[in-house]
Amino acid sequence: MTRSQLFVYGLRDSVPMIVGVAPFGIIYGTLASVAGLSLWQALGMSMLVYAGSAQFIAISLLSAGTGAAVILFTTLIVNLRHVLYSASLQPFIAHLPQTWRIPLAFGLTDETFAVVQRRYLAHGAGNHGQWYHAGVALALYLCWISSSLLGVLFGQAMPSLADWGLDFAMLATFIGIVVPLLRNFPQVAAALVAGAVAVVCHGLPYKLGLLAAAMAGIVVGVVLERRTQPAVAGEGV
Amino acid sequence: MQTWLLILGMALITFSVRYSLFAWPNLRFAPLVLQGLHYVPTAVLTAIVVPGMLLPDGEHLALRLDNAYLLAGLGAIMIAAVTRHLLATIGGGFVLFFLLRWAFGQLPL
């Protein structure tokens, strides 16, 4: 297959994901503009950070008057899951020069990972497999930016949206991500412990309650997993 | 200006995390670390969601029947458990949330 064919296939396979990404982008843009970010700041965050969950949280922390250090720290914790993606795609991009690896790493979102991994697992990297990857990454990046822009314009047109409680969108989104992950006892226990610790520790400064809750959930999950299935512990993604 | 610095900082952190294993193709993490990473999304996102439902103002426990964040959140959890569909969860949760807030007279209409 030629490079341009692969690139077009990448664009095409991104279409189902666009249906999911666009609403997030619109809600993000609306929340950002209601929170007081200018059009360029809200759009700049989508262009440069390009991480939906982290952007949602940053906006809600900004509205609550949280300091920058805490927001940066929270960004790190929320994005840690991307290390997993990076690890599982590593074998397929290892042969590429840095000029390819840098942009592909920049575009490594949940959705890009989902589409690209499917392809790599079925066909391997092959010749020019990176062009497929590039098509997916570009399509989803442009979708995120344009839907963010739509959201910002919507928010600017209706400033009264600030009192509507649009921040619930973030909760619903995270619920929709987490609940399907709760497929076994260690995952359920990790969620219950993390939720309980987060409520008990919510009064701690610098969002340390979030860190404590995350650490507690991770430790409980790992300990329980090792206890129930020690033989397969630690196998890939 | 401060907002732009924050955005640049967030961009740097996000990129570093994603680039980590692309930068050094031979780098591997210990099995324990990879195992722990599997629980990161569950632990982090739940630690954000539960206080968001129980303490909507960020300070006071609101275990009340007029707390739309709590009720609609529970509804969204049920929708997610049954459908396992992200957009259905967001859409259904959102509709439920606004219906409840409308019923409780909490919308600025």
pLDDT at A233: 47
For residue A177, being part of any structural domain is answered with no
Distance (Å, rounded) from C-alpha A176 to C-alpha B83?
10
- Give yes or no: residues B81 and B50 share one domain: yes
Residue A224 lies in a domain: yes
Residues A146 and A104 reside in one and the same domain: yes
Q: What's residue A208's pLDDT?
A: 85
The stretch A203-225 carries a mean pLDDT of: 90
The residue in chain A having the minimum alpha-carbon distance to the alpha carbon of residue B24 is A94
| Domain end (from A136, A164, A192) | A164
Domain count within chain A: 2
Helix and strand counts by DSSP (H, E) for chain B: 5, 0
**H-helix or E-strand spanning residue A86:** helix A81-93
- What is the residue-averaged pLDDT of chain A? 90
Give B29: exposed, middle or buried? Use CB within 10 Å, 0-12, 13-18, 19+: middle
- The runs of H, that is alpha helices, within chain A are 3-13, 15-34, 39-48, 52-63, 68-79, 81-93, 98-106, 110-123, 129-157, 168-178, 185-200, 208-228
With cut-offs at 50, 70 and 90, classify the pLDDT of residue A236. very low
Q: Which distant-in-sequence residues (6+ apart) come within 8 Å of A233 by Cβ?
A: A225, A226, B31, B35
| Claim to verify: residue B32 and residue B50 sit in the same structural domain | no
Same domain, B46 and B85: yes
User: d(Cα B19, Cα B40) in Å, to the nearest integer?
Assistant: 18
Contact map slice: A 110-129 vs B, CB within 8 A:
none
Is residue A172 situated within a structural domain? no
Contacts of A234 in chain B (CB under 8 A): 31-32, 34-35
Q: A158 and A199: one domain?
A: no
**CB-CB neighbors (< 8 A) of A62 in chain B:** 3, 6
pLDDT value, residue A204:
86
- Predicted ipTM? 0.91
The verdict on a CB contact (< 8 Å) between A68 and B6 is: yes
Residue pair A210/A57 in contact (Cβ under 8 Å)? The answer is no
Rounded Cα–Cα distance for residues B13 and A76 (Å): 6
Residues B60 and B13 both lie in one domain: no
A17 and A87 in a common domain: yes
Q: Name the residue with higher pLDDT: A195 or A230.
A: A195
How many structural domains are present in chain B?
2
Query: For residue range A13-50, what is the model confidence (pLDDT) as tens digits?
Result: 998 888 878 888 998 999 999 889 999 999 999 999 99
Report whether B2 contacts A48 (CB < 8 A): no
Q: For the segment A92-132, what is each residue's pLDDT rounded down to a tens digit? A: 999 999 999 999 999 999 889 989 988 998 888 888 999 99
A103 and A199 housed in the same domain: no
Domain span at residue A202 reads: 182-231
Q: pLDDT at residue A232 above 70? A: no
Interval A137-195: pLDDT, tens: 999 999 999 999 999 999 999 878 777 888 888 899 889 989 999 999 999 999 999 99
Q: Which domain holds residue B10?
A: 1-36
Nearest CA to A81 among A54, A101, A57?
Answer: A54
Shared domain for B61 and B102, answered yes or no, is yes
* pLDDT on residue A230: 59
- Contacting residues of A for B26, CB less than 8 Å apart: 94
- Say if residue A222's pLDDT is above 60: yes
In 3D, which of A142, A97, A95, A91 has the Cα closest to residue A116? A91
d(CA B108, CA B105): 8
For B75, which residue in chain A has the nearest alpha carbon?
Answer: A172
Mutate: best of B2, B8, B12, B14, partner A, most A CBs <10 A: B14
CB-based contact, A213 to chain B, within 8 Å: yes
Closest by CA position to A148, among listed A3, A2, A40, A14: A40
Asked if A9 and A91 sit in the same domain, the reply is yes
> Which chain A residues are closer than 8 Å to B23 by Cβ?
101, 105
- Looking at the fold, whether A69 and A111 belong to one and the same domain comes out as yes
- Rounded-to-integer distance, Cα A75 and Cα A49, Å: 10
What residues of chain B score a pLDDT lower than 70?
none
